[in-house]
Structure 1
């Protein structure tokens, strides 16, 4: 049992060279396991068909790692490195060794395990150290975005309670803010839950071959698939509530449409309804075409664009609105007519204009630099930039739209003053 456990740790853990949260490991594990099963079946066929040696010899065997033929007593057996190894192309000329003792038994080590020299079949130390460095870097990135989402979650929950607690703050603009906060909250929760489900899926201890096949089964992946779909929906909803913020700002400052309270339902449909138009067909395509693991590996990028394209569309439109509003504001300022816009509109423009470029730039800059088409330092920069902005963006939204808002500050001061007055009255009565 110890030998099996150790060998599977080699097969199923050492070659997982990319971080779990990107789920490339699932693709590597599935492909390697498929080749390992083929290698094992070939070995079993060979052991049944090959004639036995005469005299004293060590018996043919499959030790989970390699397939060994009958060997005459007192000889060294060399066989090619197993073809299922993910790095097989680099070690195709190498061999793995066993020694058959003079007594016709495979030679063992002091601990009782059968001796085996597989040094020629192991990955190069330099490559292995680079991959280890990359894994550590990805773990650091994950820590950063986990901290960012946790901080955003706390600040957004607080901001949502504050915004909905005061009757004077209840208007279409703040309702849109509140839905944006909620989309950020649900996005953060979905990301954290998805990571937990992925860790649970890939964190199972491998003890025997059936554990690997069970891990790769559709039943075992249902939980993380649901978490993946939920996360994609809330990510899209978050993007389209930002789109709603941009449209509302454009309506207030330029077009004067979709501003009235009776238009609020249209924003609800845009923010919560639009993502369903893209997530639903993506789920269908995944079920029919790429029903593998946790649905995080995009073998066919055309399917991934079902989710990717609406995000980029919203980002591009937001960016165009940003440029248009800047042009209008600068034109009015140069014309010396600042009274055209009331103070609250200028404050609204200031807060939203701060967020729109922050939201859209990283999507536009890396529009064609997908994870599948980037590598090395470029990929590291893209991953860090995207994860950092996405995770801490909710915190920035809560600050600008709530805590730094003068109307909110005035309401909080008024409420604190009321509480203080009530406390003084109670003290005086006592």
Structure 2
């Protein structure tokens, strides 16, 4: 019975972790800190309050849930709901109860556990129902993006192998494509790894407050913090390889004003080097100023903007390049239409749909609407659009720039025919 109160509270908080691990981690840490203060105040009060007159009475105690005063035999003690409860504002007028038996002992259940009525201190049922619904929605979103990232990962791996294994496909354009594929692959791996480590971190059983101390310790969070930092790096690398694709196409179609189009090193430094300029300061600030849980909470948005600003900047630049290239394509298709191509609108639509994933233009959707600035149904729509586009993006890129690419298909067919002839020759020799 000694741990029943704490286990009850910890169980509820662990249930909340299924809904949103980052938020629940913050709730768990704040609740535990308040619980420690509540316990210390209670133990201090137990020591300082004068002892009652000689006679039967139930002893004052702290049962890890609430602080109980001395009680006369045959009476019921009412105390306010513990102040550390996350939902204390909704139960501030509620009370917890205990009965003192006529023998001067706290009343027990038949199983030997102390009787206690905390029904007025439990979370409101309506709020509980809303949390349950939100949990189901978030779990559905997680299933959606997990499927999307796994599908993207498998399709991108196969596409990368094709680009690297066929020598005739080795050119500047495909080298940039290959690095974009790799950044998408590593992003998918980092997201799946982060989720796995977060599950492992927050799914540890909580039976005592020592278990909570371990979960909230820096040592226990090293794995998920590392995964969080890697994910931020690969997300940034992904965006800057989109930028590299935009620069390359701009240089080919319009004019070379950004990078030397004949060398890979500048693109390599842009795609893999630039993210380090932002991720390293973000990691340093997290370590020094916001070193909590798995670094999933953004209490100080100034630190979050270290990561967000370069993403917003490169997304806007990509969008401007996208519009400029689309204008060039439109003028060219109109000129072709006057000569011999009546389907220029269809070709324009196809070119537009092809360029959108290549430039990462989908990032313009809700680009300035952060999670902290949205709520309710708007936030759910934003989360759905973001997880769907980001998780299935790799699959779409692999299909458009590898599997449906005429050059790639032609070279792949040649290789397959060559392998088939070689196999036939080997079979005939046997």
TM-score normalized with structure 1 length: 0.93
What SS does structure 2 have at the residue aligned with 1:109?
Answer: coil
Q: Does 1:265 align with 2:246?
A: no
CA contact (8 A) 2:244 2:270 kept: yes
What do you get for the CA RMSD once the two structures are aligned?
A: 2.2
CA distance in 1, matches of 2:17, 2:293: 16
Residues 264, 314 of structure 1: alpha-carbon distance in 2 compared, 3 angstrom cutoff: same
The structural deviation recorded for 1:424 is 2.6
The structural deviation recorded for 1:427 is 3.4
CA distance in 2, matches of 1:338, 1:207: 77
The structural deviation recorded for 1:119 is 0.7
2:249 maps to what in 1?
Answer: 249
- Which string of whole-angstrom CA distances, capped at 9 and with x for unpartnered residues, describes residues 75-128 of structure 1? 000000000000101111110000111111111112221111111111111110
TM-score normalized with structure 2 length: 0.93
CA distance in 2, matches of 1:14, 1:394: 37
1:29 maps to what in 2?
Answer: 28
Matches within 5 A, 1:360-379: 360-361=361-362, 363-379=363-379
2:156 maps to what in 1?
Answer: 156
Matches within 5 A, 1:30-429: 30-54=29-53, 55-256=55-256, 262-336=262-336, 352-356=354-358, 359-361=360-362, 363-429=363-429
1:343 maps to what in 2?
Answer: none
What SS does structure 2 have at the residue aligned with 1:53?
Answer: coil
Match of 2:10 among 9, 12, 21: 12
Instruction: Could you list the structure 1 runs, at least 4 aligned residues long, displaced by more than 6 angstroms after superposition.
Output: 258-261
Alignment length (residue pairs): 421
What SS does structure 2 have at the residue aligned with 1:366?
Answer: coil
Residues 268, 210 of structure 1: alpha-carbon distance in 2 compared, 3 angstrom cutoff: same
CA contact (8 A) 2:79 2:95 kept: yes
CA contact (8 A) 2:25 2:293 kept: yes
CA contact (8 A) 1:74 1:100 kept: yes
The structural deviation recorded for 1:348 is 11
CA distance in 1, matches of 2:404, 2:11: 48
CA contact (8 A) 1:171 1:261 kept: no
Residues 49, 207 of structure 1: alpha-carbon distance in 2 compared, 3 angstrom cutoff: same
CA distance in 2, matches of 1:230, 1:81: 43
Residues 88, 351 of structure 1: alpha-carbon distance in 2 compared, 3 angstrom cutoff: closer
CA distance in 2, matches of 1:348, 1:139: 35
CA distance in 2, matches of 1:144, 1:64: 40
The structural deviation recorded for 1:206 is 1.0
The structural deviation recorded for 1:240 is 0.6
CA contact (8 A) 1:183 1:238 kept: yes
CA contact (8 A) 1:298 1:304 kept: yes
Residues 259, 65 of structure 1: alpha-carbon distance in 2 compared, 3 angstrom cutoff: closer
CA contact (8 A) 1:172 1:260 kept: no
Q: Structure 1: which 5+ runs fail to align?
A: 340-345
Tell me whether 48-57 or 94-103 shows the greater mean CA deviation: 48-57
- Which string of whole-angstrom CA distances, capped at 9 and with x for unpartnered residues, describes residues 377-402 of structure 1? 11111111101111111111111111
CA distance in 2, matches of 1:230, 1:165: 28
